[in-house]
Amino acid sequence: MSFKVLICDDSSLARKLAKRSLPEGFAAEIHQASNGVEAISVIDKHAIEVLLLDLTMPVLDGVGVLEEIRRRALDVFVVVVSGDIQPQMRERVMRLGALDFIPKPIKSGELHTTLHRFGLY
């Protein structure tokens, strides 16, 4: 099974690392966004199924994206990938519907484990 994936991070390097961290054959399509407004637009246009989401971004941050996904009841599996590893933030994004929270820099093994745990890989 392969998915339509969106990688949302304001850092092009972080997006590149996230793309490389995906399991081989996992993504049928890979889209990228540099802020939350772009991410919501891409989700709408491409029926994104898996979102790798940074928290700290300009225009609309990751928490704002999670709130919008929840408000609109969009069917997207969200894995937060962020350098903001405070326990309060982790709890907040999980309450908003994120599947998991992976610290930056992203490690392939951690991402693969998360995707496997939720039956996506």
Residue 34 has what pLDDT? 98
C-alpha 92/C-alpha 42 separation (Å) is: 24
Domain hosting 78: range is: 3-117
Is the pLDDT assigned to residue 48 strictly greater than 90?
yes
pLDDT at 21 over 90: yes
What CATH number is given to the structural domain containing 80?
Answer: 3.40.50.2300
User: pLDDT grade, residue 115 (50/70/90)?
Assistant: very high
Which residue is it, tokens 């907040």?
92
Identify whether the C-beta of residue 32 lies closer than 8 Å to the C-beta of residue 63: no
Q: What's the total number of domains in the chain?
A: 1
* Alpha-helical segments (H) within 22-107: 36-46, 62-71, 87-95
Give the residue-averaged pLDDT of 83-109.
93
Residue 57 scores a pLDDT above 90: yes
- Determine the pLDDT at residue 32: 98
